[in-house]
Amino acid sequence: MKIKNISIIIAIFVTGFFFNSCNDFLDQKDPNKITASEYFQNENDVLRAVNGVYRSIRDNYCLGEGSTAYTEERSDNISTQDNQSSAGEPFQFGDYSLLPTNTYLKTHWTRMFTAIANANFVLTYIDDVKFSDENLRKQYKAEAKFLRALVYFHVVRKWGDVPLSVTHLTSSDEVAQYTFREKKEKVYEQIIKDLTESLDAGSLPDLQPVSGKGRTCKAAINALLGQVYLTMATTLDDGQRQNYLGSAKKHLTDAYNMRTFGKLNEIPYRDVFDVEKKDTCPELIFQIVYIRGDKDYSSSKARGNQPRDSRLLSQYNSTGTVFLPSDLVKEYEEDDIRKEWSVQYSVYSNSYYIAKFRDTSAGAGTLGYGGNDWVLMRYADVMLLLAETYMHLGDEAGAVGLLNQVRERAGLPHYEDMQNDADYKSKYPTLKLAILHERRVELAFENHRWYDLLRNFNISELETFFHSKTRTDFGLSNPMNFGKKDLYYPIPFDEWKLNPEGMYQNEGYE
């Protein structure tokens, strides 16, 4: 079910973590509004509220296609030619000069917790509604829990310890009660709980049919659970590494076994991003749906990346783009078919540009209202995460087998054959680095790279990694600015101000 024409039901108060309190606001009764508890009267009210959670994540300041500033630009995949727009605040993310007062940071925090609060709204009141089919109730609860876990997974990786609430907050006292940072281990526990309960509900299909694109499924829940466990195994120091790796293997394998194709090379790489095949491509697991030609719900990815001298991506008459590929361009091996689809060269700007998202159709038109969906999960990602898990478990053959499937589709020799290639061997001397390389070129510009780096390197290694970069590959950004503080984002200043003790600032931003 595509999520256009959705009524977002935001309760009186969405969450306390970005609330500027007014002592008597709850005492005022607006006769034109209903209270949160009065809203849910029937199944359709619940559906509308669940759709509201989906709509929350599509926001560009949350997890939508415009959220690359918070992940992709934070990594080493993108360079920028603009350090002045919007008082230079967007530039701070990729320049590693982020300030707690950054308004883009605050908006990102707010929209993420709005999505969480909207999920809490559903889950707090859904059991008060009478359903004609209990399986439908289970489905809606599973969807809301999945979406809450998905957003919290992004939040905990960006900020570490964060406020944790799983109920709808309706009073200033409740707000104060939850306005503190819970330890990240507790946040991960809640993420695992939500996803496990979503999976156990048994009310979702393995994969969504065409009519359900944009909604979650069992493959997506398993894929997310697997990635969460893998992240916990590689970033938490709680003595549970092997258990986490075992759980990661189980859930990633379950997701992989739900695919409807044989080997990955049955699906051409370009089909994954072909706007005409976004509903039918068997590699796609979970995506945010955009609607071609619709002013409010179309994709702007193609026109936003299009250089001035090209019509390859869109019919839009572009004046140019300021976000360009970095040294990522150098990482593509010779004859890698993914390079031509992912990056192209502009004679006008004398540089490469991001070419992965395209819609030149008449439906998108000269305004560039494209129909590209924003893919959050696909099978190449799952396979490489599983390869990474196998590697940590000491199963090199299992890891290499999955790695080779991805390389085969790209038209490249197997990993074993490349051990005789001096250049490849010098760049990627370990299986870990070979998998990380493959993820970088396979999933470029899809918001995975920053998290891949966090998962594979500790902070000291990351500092060495960024400082080894060539400055000219990053435009005006300076990778030399990267330091230990950049493991996490700062807590937005306004949030810290609400409770300086409970909302303590991350190290390096005090």
Res 1 pLDDT > 50 = no
For the chain, counts of helices (H) and of strands (E): 21, 6
Mean pLDDT of 156-184: 94
* Least reliable range by pLDDT among 14-28, 262-276, 388-402: 14-28
Mean pLDDT of 66-84: 93
Share of the chain above pLDDT 90, in %: 85
Residues in the chain: 510
Contact 364, 204 (CB under 8 A): no
Amino acid identity of residue 166, one-letter, is V
* Element spanning 284, H or E: strand 284-288
pLDDT at position 510 is: 86
How far, in Å, CA of 137 to CA of 7, rounded? 19
Question: What does the mean pLDDT of the chain come to?
Answer: 92
Residue for token digits 């940072």? 181
Contact 465, 417 (CB under 8 A): no
pLDDT at position 29 is: 52
Residues contacting 407, CB < 8 A, separation 6+: 413, 414, 415, 438
Res 348 pLDDT > 90 = no
Amino acid identity of residue 312, one-letter, is L
How far, in Å, CA of 61 to CA of 303, rounded? 19
How far, in Å, CA of 440 to CA of 450, rounded? 10
How far, in Å, CA of 315 to CA of 432, rounded? 41
Confidence of residue 214 (pLDDT cuts 50, 70, 90): very high
Mean pLDDT of 477-492: 97
pLDDT at position 381 is: 98
pLDDT at position 224 is: 98
Concatenate the DSSP letters of all residues of 109-123 into one string. HHHHHHHHHHHHHHH
pLDDT at position 456 is: 98
Amino acid identity of residue 224, one-letter, is L
Contact 226, 251 (CB under 8 A): yes
Here the tokens at position 323 are: 């976000």
pLDDT at position 16 is: 39
| Nearest CA among 330, 310, 335 for reference residue 321 | 310
Mean pLDDT of 28-49: 77
What is the third-level CATH fold of 377-487?
A: 1.25.40
Q: What is the CA radius of gyration of the chain?
A: 23
How far, in Å, CA of 101 to CA of 109, rounded? 12
Confidence of residue 2 (pLDDT cuts 50, 70, 90): very low
What does the pLDDT look like over 46-56, one tens digit per residue? Answer: 999 999 999 99
Could you tell me the residue ranges of all domains in the chain? 290-324+334-372, 377-487
Q: Chain-centre distance of CA 250, in angstroms? A: 22
What CA–CA distances, in Å, run from 478 to 97, 291, 453, 473, 481? 9, 37, 17, 9, 6
Mean pLDDT of 429-438: 98
pLDDT at position 24 is: 37
Res 431 pLDDT > 60 = yes
What does the pLDDT look like over 129-167, one tens digit per residue? Answer: 999 999 999 999 999 999 999 999 999 999 999 999 999
Contact 290, 298 (CB under 8 A): yes
By CB atoms closer than 10 A (0-12, 13-18, 19+), residue 29 is exposed
**Secondary structure letter of residue 487 according to DSSP:** G
pLDDT at position 148 is: 98
What does the pLDDT look like over 76-119, one tens digit per residue? Answer: 999 998 888 998 999 999 999 999 999 999 999 999 999 999 99
**Secondary structure letter of residue 307 according to DSSP:** -
Mean pLDDT of 19-45: 61
**Secondary structure letter of residue 188 according to DSSP:** H
How far, in Å, CA of 252 to CA of 386, rounded? 6
Beta-carbon count within 10 A of 124 CB: 19
Mean pLDDT of 184-192: 98
Question: What are the beta bridge partners of residue 162?
Answer: 182
Res 462 pLDDT > 90 = yes
| Nearest CA among 116, 115, 102, 101 for reference residue 69 | 102
Beta-carbon count within 10 A of 89 CB: 17
By CB atoms closer than 10 A (0-12, 13-18, 19+), residue 335 is exposed
pLDDT at position 309 is: 86
How far, in Å, CA of 435 to CA of 383, rounded? 10
How far, in Å, CA of 311 to CA of 307, rounded? 8
Mean pLDDT of 225-230: 98
| Nearest CA among 455, 289, 477 for reference residue 466 | 477
> What's the start-to-end Cα distance of the chain, in Å?
46
By CB atoms closer than 10 A (0-12, 13-18, 19+), residue 459 is middle
pLDDT at position 467 is: 97
| Nearest CA among 14, 46, 214 for reference residue 136 | 46
By CB atoms closer than 10 A (0-12, 13-18, 19+), residue 428 is buried
Res 33 pLDDT > 80 = no
